[in-house]
Chain A
Amino acid sequence: MSTQAPFTIEQFYKYLAEGKLMAGKCLKCGKIHLPPRPLCDNCYGQDFEWTEVSGKGKLLTYTIIHVAPPQFQTLAPYAVGIVQLENGLKIPGMISGVQQEQLKVGLELTIDFAACSAGQAWPQWQRYCFRQT
């Protein structure tokens, strides 16, 4: 266990930079955490294994941001949504390459690991986005 990558948000983003969407699975109760966390909120276990998650899912809800924080103003307007992945877990992210009129709840999307860069001020983690499947 000691050589295993830590079950942290930072490690989650490091895997994304390698093109992998990884979750932490609790070895005690089986709960899958996306993002991973070092303490299971269900059983308080601290032993996990990494499990790769499908990056395909359906759009649960969306919005188009017109008034953006300073770091994102060059991108506005941009679409963001919450995607329910095939394993049932949910993650938010920007939606790229979809016309506003085509956005609808239930749209099939796939994660894209290419960075949706938004300037330099924020930590330079890989910023995934979603594209139409």
Chain B
Amino acid sequence: MNGKPLVSIVSAGLSKFGKHEGLFAREIFSLAVKEAFDRCPKLDPKRDIKALFIGHMGESYEHQGHMGAAAADWAGLLGIPATRTEAACASSGAALRSGVYAVLSGLADVVMVGGVEKMTHRTTAEVTEYLAMASDYPFEQFHGITFPGLFALMATAHMNAYGTTQEQMAKVAVKNHHHASLNPKAHMQKEITVENVLASKMVAWPLKIYDCSLITDGASCIILTKPEIAGKFTDMPVHIVGSGQASDTIGLYERKTLTSLQSAKLAAKTAYEMAAVKPEDVNLAEVHDCFTFAEIMAYEDLGFCKVGEGGKLVVEGKTALGGRLPVNTSGGLKAKGHPVGATGVAQAYEMYLQLTGQADKRQVKDAQVGLTHNVGGSGATATVHVYRSDQA
């Protein structure tokens, strides 16, 4: 592997992110599917698509498991092998990775990968409990440690080790809300200030409500093909040139370090090597900002800056639109929203738009190399993918 395309994205779809009152997850998924089909008239879904992988985190939200078959049915694809992948908030990052496996194995030359979650009909307390299921039960959930709590534990350690501040974290929220204001599909369309963030309600010190990603309904979908046949479906494919996935202890407390995610570093190393790309070659990235602090840590784990300097990077504006390396142009999990199972492929959707010049008001000029970073749980799973435009 030396930067050659592993698979090609020939189409992509995304439902509006936000509240979809009265819709089940599978129905929201069909909205994303429709956009992907409409974008790619040369694709005959029933003839061409050979497999479906769909990320879906929780049975608890709708009392519904077995999302693979349900999603295939509502996508009009009954008969094909359809499998749900679950890796907490990286469920559809894992679906994407599974799609790469499927195409590279030669068993399927055209694959749909997607993700979905329906969350907003539940109370915040219920969602807090369901999300916590992705953390260690006997030593974390059992002791009342929530999901924001786990990232707060990492944030406290990072603040103590490197002097990272709540103001720096707030800057991530301000930036991503600004980006989301340019994305009509984002859940939140309004700009916020550092003062808004600092004054917002405490969730798990030092993380406040505006440091947290949103409870959102949404679905995502992309169509992958063998690179050799991408031209049959589109003149503008986006190639995935690196794919990494890694695991770490489910309990945060057992990790060697609390200030970085080894899973993300491992996944990034694999993906960078496959892609023959260095961090400084990346033109834009979608990273897993489930909490503002997580974006700061992601900069460091992905090699976008030195360890301990993630807070500085955002304050200097380097990761904002117009900066050297725009991060989360979609608005990120923070402001576009975080329907957990949909997030990994939603990041790939943004990359598809950006690298084909279809990102409208938030378009990054001359972008050729992109990266997505999707984290499950408190970092027990991470997936990293590297993308290249066809022109590169």
Contact = CB atoms under 8 A, between A and B. Distances in A.
Interface string B205-220: 1110000000000000
A56 interface: no
Interface of B: 124-126, 128-129, 132, 138-146, 148-149, 152-157, 160, 201-207, 251-254, 258
A60 interface: yes
B138 A9 contact: yes
Highest count of chain B CB atoms <10 Å: which of A64, A70, A91: A64
A62 B253 CA distance: 11
A60 B201 CA distance: 25
Given A82-B258, A92-B253, A63 B156 contact: yes
Contacts of B144: 65, 68-69, 71-72, 75, 78, 80, 94, 118
A125 interface: yes
7 contacts: A61-B160, A66-B205, A67-B128, A69-B132, A80-B144, A90-B253, A92-B153
Contacts of B129: 69-71
A129 B307 CA distance: 33
B120 to A, nearest CB: 16
B123 to A, nearest CB: 9
A14 to B, nearest CB: 13
Top 3 closest pairs, chain A to chain B, by CB:
A63-B152, A69-B129, A61-B157
A70 B129 CA distance: 7
B149 A60 contact: no
A62 B156 contact: yes
A127 interface: yes
Interface residues of A, number: 35
Nearest to B209: A67
Given A60-B258, A82-B258, A66 B153 contact: no
A90 B254 contact: yes
Given A80-B149, A127-B143, A61 B156 contact: yes
Majority DSSP secondary structure for residues of B touching A: helix
Interface in A38-80: 60-73, 75, 77-78, 80
Residue of A9, A66, A122 with most partner-chain B CB within 10 A = A66
Nearest to A93: B143
Nearest to B148: A67
Contacts of B254: 90
Main SS at interface, chain A? mixed
A6 interface: no
A125 to B, nearest CB: 7
Contact of B149 (A63, A73, A127): A63
A21 B156 CA distance: 27
Given A70-B126, A94-B143, 12 more contacts: A61-B258, A63-B153, A68-B125, A69-B129, A69-B132, A71-B144, A80-B144, A80-B145, A81-B153, A90-B253, A100-B205, A105-B157
B146 A91 contact: no
Contacts of A64: 202, 204-205
A68 B156 contact: no
A91 to B, nearest CB: 6
A81 B140 CA distance: 10
A15 to B, nearest CB: 14
B331 to A, nearest CB: 23
Contacts of A93: 143
A69 B204 contact: no
Contacts of A68: 125, 128, 144, 146
A93 B144 CA distance: 8
B145 A65 contact: yes
Contacts of B258: 60-61, 82
A41 to B, nearest CB: 10
Contacts of B128: 67-69
B163 to A, nearest CB: 13
A73 to B, nearest CB: 7
A63 B301 CA distance: 22
Contact of B203 (A67, A72, A127): A67
Contacts of A73: 125
B50 to A, nearest CB: 37
A93 B156 CA distance: 16
A67 B157 contact: no
Interface in A76-133: 77-78, 80-82, 90-94, 100, 105, 118, 122-123, 125, 127
